[in-house]
Structure formats: structure tokens, C-alpha cells
Amino acid sequence: MKKAILLAVVALLSLAAFCDECWSEAGSFDGSELTTIVLKPTDPISYSSALSDGAPVSLTIEAVDESDETIVAGIFSNASGTALEGTTVWNYYAPEYSHLPKSDTYEITETVTSSRGSEAFSCTVTILPEPALFALLSLVCALFLRGRVKVTAVFLALLCVSTFSAKADGAVGSVSFLQIKPCSKNVIINYTMTPANADALYDMKFYGSVDNGATTFELREKGTLQGALYPSLNETFCGAGNHKVIWIPDESFHSVKTDAFKVKVQAEAFDSSKTYMVIDISGGIDAESYPVSYLSDVPEGGWTEEYKTLKLVLRAIPAGTYIMGSPEGEVGRAANEIEHKVTLTRPFYAGVFEVTQKQYELVMGINPAEYEGYTRPVEKVSYDDIRGSEKGAGWPANNAVDENSFMGVLRAKTGLAFDLPTEGQWEFACRGLTTTALNNGKNLTGTDACPNLGEVARYWNNGGKSSAHYAVGGYDPNPWGLYDMHGNVYEWCLDWYKEYLDSDSVTDPKGETSGNYRAIRGGSWNDNAQYCRSATRRYRSCTPSKSYNDLGFRVFLTK
């Protein structure tokens, strides 16, 4: 049995002037090392201690100020059981620690005790001084503890931090990157922004180079970008202040070694004139192309029937972080709605309305719906109809679609990669930054009928049982102006259905690599209230070839 303690790191940025794009200085990158987990100082410390024979153990975690041997109390104390696993938090900036030196080194110790004896495992955190002028201390503390009483060896990794920064004038300020060696191949990217307009919105891009900037690549195309996990819209999309992302290189970088690695951060100002994307499909199936235009706001007089039949309209949704799933105690909650943090690193467009029967007919030449009405949502369409059963079956390995599918035709005639949403995108779009069961900021009052739901949805108990679905846009929109995210018809998602979601934080989730059913979201006219909540996840035997009279879709476009 082994005990591994992975720890890293402190990043210190110096404030300078700002630019719209900025390279870091060149430095070394070594992709051949192990990976560590990188956290902020206030993030949880994970721990796991157990005995193979199930004997009871107790666990204590404490921090000691090495300069004066003062024990920092309150981190973790006296947990016991046959198998301990969970998280605890040491918030270095909490008031009770205000007396501590702001430049010091601390030893964090995990002590595992049982009737068979006691073992202690330690690692060190160094907290650098905060810049007096700029208050830009960025502490990233990574601690992943795994312990067993019969530990025969402890591996303490050497800690080597490479930091390179650059400064310039404009919206993006100093950029630095860090790679933790020999513990990690992950790259921590720190950057600062002070836009001239504090309310300005930016779409952030991240690039890398292994040859001093002679050639570049987008980091998200060569690995995974983890966001800074900010909770609010303004902090994720505005860009003012200090920011951090973590790049986890994919396998293509695991053998790369260079001393000419550079990182570039680019801020593209969000064009408010492009808040809404409008696709003119009035030319129908015979049109060579579908013109794309933009609107800054909802047209005077609202969305007329034209936007529900002859045009497709989508709304820009910012990147951001939210809690996916539902809290314990939410009325109607199911076991497959485990709460966890989801970060979406890329903005996207979401259909303002579910695709209507007229829109589907113009693109595909047919109307498959059972309950007819041009402004009603199209139903009786399968996942295969929307994306195709050959190339379109490849998600999440790729986002290809069949040429003769709905998305294939739409892509060919616009030049844009429209698609279905992932579950993570769908719920983020549905909630519109709300945290309640419904996206009007209200919760359910009952599992069957609920007047709060009746404000935003057509469902079984407010007309669905007598006349099925309803014309799109007939109920109140969510805070982002999206209609019918609750009820009317279920909506297909890209993901293969997974029964239980992970409780860990995830970034840009794509779902399972394979499965039998694709996920559907939102509830329908054929459901009671509990199945129409923001967090409701279902699959209902929805193999990709199946179609139902209460299942449709909505068009998305990831930027």
C-alpha cells in the first residue's frame, strides 16, 4: 500500500498596464511528468483513510507555522470510522487566522491512528507575501491525501515551480504560466484584466506555442481548460481583475519537452449587437444558403410569428460556472440529480424557441409531428433525424453529423456548426443563473400540479392532457429570454444518459463515451410538475432511433 501526497503551489502576479492580447515570456514545458490536482486556498482538502481489514481509524489534519511552532487550530479534528473519506477546508484568509504572518511556511500533517498504531504524513505550503500596491496574491494550494495505517513508504515529490510573465498595454495585462515539476504536466495560466469599461464583456481565448510564438495552437484543442470557477456571470464573462485557468494537456503533449513554450491570452470584446442570431430559412429546402444576421435586442413588438416559422433565432449565452443538479429537499427531486459544480469555458448560442413544425419542414421538407400546428414544437423526431445515424452517432468522440440530417443541412447552408446541447449546456441555459427548481426563481408547491410551473410551462395539469403541446413562446421566458425550457416537449441532448452524475467539479462535460440512450431534458405536456424542473434528467428508453409525440429539440451553437 502506498501513501501519495501531492502538493503545489503559489502563484504571484505583478500588476502592469494592459492589452487586448498578451504573450507570456518563453519558458520550459515538460509533458512527461505526473499530474496533480490544483486548488485555491479556500478549496476543500480531500482525504481518504481506510484499512484493508476494516479496523477503525481516526484522522487529524493540522497546520503548523514552522517559524514559531504555533499550531493552527480548526482545520480538521478527530474524525473516526472504518473508512474515512471526504473534504475539509483551511481558509487561510479567515478572520481567526488574521494574526498569522502573511509570509510564512506551513506544514500540513495528516495523522492516521488505529489500535494498530499511528502514522503521520506531512507536506509543506509556502505562502508568499501579498504585493502592497496591487493585492494580487493568487494562492493555488493542491493537496490530495490518501492514507492507510500499514503504509510502508511515503513519496514526497520535489516541488519545482516555473513562472514566466509578460506585461503590455490594453485590456489584458500581465500573463504568466506555471508548470509544477516533477509533480505535474498541468499548466496554470494567470492573467489580469482592467478594461476601460468595467462592465465590458469579453470572450477569452487561450493559445500556446512551443517555438517562441512562431506557430500557435488553441489550448482547448490540445487538452482541457478548467475555468476559474467563479460563481457569478459578471466575474466569468466580464474579465475585470485577476483570473486563472488550468490547462491539462492531452496525450499528444505527454512527450513534449521544450524551453520555448509560451502562452497567449486574448480578449475579444463581446459585440452586444450580436446578442441574438437570426437565421433566415424562408428559402426552404431548395435554398442554396440561409442568410445569418444579428440583433442587439428583442425586436420592437416582440418575437412575431415570422421568428417562429420563417426564421430561427438564438440568444448568446456567456461562459460560466453553476451548480448542476438539485439540493436535497427540493420537491420532486430524483436520485440522479447529484449537485456538482460545472464550468462551461466557451460561450454559446441557444435557441430562443424549440424548433417548430414549420421550421423543420422548411429545412427538411417534411413535418413528422403528430399534433400539427406550424408554431407548435416539432415532435416525432429522433436523435438520428436531427444528427444522423452514421457520422452523427459519433458524439462525444467527435461532433460530426450526417449531411442529410437537420443539423447537417443547417450547417451546410450557414457554414456554422449548429448542434444539440450537452446536458451541462442545456441546464445552464435553462436556469438562466437561477438556483431554484424553476427558472422563474420559484420552487414547486407540489409534485403533480403547481401554479408556479404554470407561469412558464405547458404541462399535464394546465392544458396538456386536453390539447397536448402549445405554440412556442406562449408562457413566460427565463431570465435570458428563452421560452419553454420547462414543459411543452422534451428536448434531445447530445450526451449518452448516465444514471448518476459525479459529485466532483467538471469542466465542459460531454457525458459518457457510450451508452444505450441519449439524455432528454425539460419535461413535456405529458408530464406532471416534478418532471419539468430545471434539474430533471431522463432518458425514457430514448435510443437514438426512437421518436415520441412529446419529444422535440432546440438548436445550439458553441462559439
Residues 232 and 310 in one domain: no
Nearest to 189 by CA among 173, 178, 180: 178
Q: What is the pLDDT of residue 91?
A: 57
Residues 255 and 287 in one domain: no
In the chain, how many domains are there?
Answer: 2
Q: Specify the pairing of strand 506-507 against strand 340-344.
A: parallel
Q: What is the pLDDT of residue 197?
A: 59
pLDDT tens digits, 499-531: 887 777 888 999 999 999 999 999 999 999 999
- pTM of whole model > 0.85? no
Residues 46 and 105 in one domain: yes
- Residue ending a domain, choose from 215, 239, 269: 269
d(CA 32, CA 13): 27
- Residue 96: how many other CB atoms lie within 10 Å: 10
- Residue ending a domain, choose from 269, 303, 319: 269
Residues 358 and 500 in one domain: yes
- Residue 486: how many other CB atoms lie within 10 Å: 31
Q: Is residue 393 within 8 Å of residue 544, measured between CB atoms? A: yes
Residues 418 and 304 in one domain: yes
Which residue range(s) make up the domain with 53? 3-269
d(CA 155, CA 139): 24
The three-state secondary structure class of 19 is strand
Q: Is residue 508 within 8 Å of residue 423, measured between CB atoms? A: no
The C-alpha cell 507575501 sits at 129
pLDDT tens digits, 376-431: 999 999 999 999 999 999 999 999 999 999 999 999 999 999 999 999 999 999 99
Report phi then psi at 416, rounded to 5.
Answer: -115, 145
Residues 134 and 219 in one domain: yes
Residues in the chain: 559
d(CA 398, CA 476): 35
Q: What is the pLDDT of residue 145?
A: 35
Q: What is the pLDDT of residue 32?
A: 43
CATH number at residue 420: 3.90.1580.10
375: left (phi over 0), alpha (psi -120 to 50) or beta: alpha
The three-state secondary structure class of 341 is strand
- Residue ending a domain, choose from 223, 251, 269: 269
Torsion sign across C-alpha atoms 405, 407, 413, 416: negative
Residues 263 and 314 in one domain: no
Residues 219 and 366 in one domain: no
Residues 314 and 423 in one domain: yes
Q: Which residue type, as a one-letter code, is found at position 558? A: T
Q: Is residue 296 within 8 Å of residue 200, measured between CB atoms? A: no
Residues 229 and 280 in one domain: no
Low-confidence ranges of the chain (pLDDT < 50): 1-19, 32-55, 57, 69-79, 82-83, 86, 103, 121, 123, 126-170, 182, 228-238
- Residue 301: how many other CB atoms lie within 10 Å: 6
Q: CA 134 → CA 3, 130, 131, 248, 397, distances in Å?
A: 39, 8, 6, 29, 44
